[in-house]
A and B are shown apart, each in its own frame.
Chain A
Amino acid sequence: IAGITQAPTSQILAAGRRMTLRCTQDMRHNAMYWYRQDLGLGLRLIHYSNTAGTTGKGEVPDGYSVSRANTDDFPLTLASAVPSQTSVYFCASSDSAAGGDEQFFGPGTRLTVL
């Protein structure tokens, strides 16, 4: 693994189904983030984790949950998907959450909820 990876690349999901988007980084970064990107809007932060074992809510957390059991992995779960969660999801990481640190992004997951 080099950098930050996400799986799946894309997914079509029926409304009401549960879905987990996976994110793994091998840079030993402390901070990780989940964003969604919708046409005409900026990236919006869903959840973040400043260090393993801690998580926090971003701008649009409703309907999503995360966990950070270790440094490398930061999965995002949609408990019961709705069509408004159709979006491109990006996972990112940075060395720290202290400020000024570049965020490195995964390739994204394109999710369609029908």
Chain B
Amino acid sequence: GQNIDQPTEMTATEGAIVQINCTYQTSGFNGLFWYQQHAGEAPTFLSYNVLDGLEEKGRFSSFLSRSKGYSYLLLKELQMKDSASYLCAVEDSNYQLIWGAGTKLIIKP
């Protein structure tokens, strides 16, 4: 079967750093995406990893280890506007996205 696991909810403090983990077991792998979704809104693209290693994009970074079936999203200098759900999605052998249930991130002042 195909499975994407993420923590359901995390809490962090404004200005701090938070790491959101994602582990996966899928039929094939063609890349891993992270999306951000604010409550009541559509998901928006954050990052894409297909090779092992760290991809940095401003305050957000995403890491991938294909051998471990593991990725994380690192958010630095947290701001209140970062309060949202973060969705991990793996592109399988058919180039279809398999989505995790998302991690709700709560930022406290």
Contacts and interface: CB of A to CB of B under 8 A. Distances in A.
Nearest to A45: B96
A87 B69 CA distance: 30
Given A40-B101, A99-B31, A100-B50, A58 B96 contact: yes
A38 to B, nearest CB: 9
Contacts of B91: 99-100
Interface string B3-47: 010000000000000000000000000110100000001111100
Given A98-B95, A99-B30, A99-B95, A43 B41 contact: no
Label chain A's interface by main secondary structure. loop
Contacts of B95: 97-99
Interface size band for B: 20 to 34
* Range, interface on chain A: 20 to 34
Nearest to A90: B42
A26 B96 CA distance: 22
Contacts of A48: 96
Interface of B: 4, 30-31, 33, 41-45, 48, 50, 87, 89, 91, 95-102
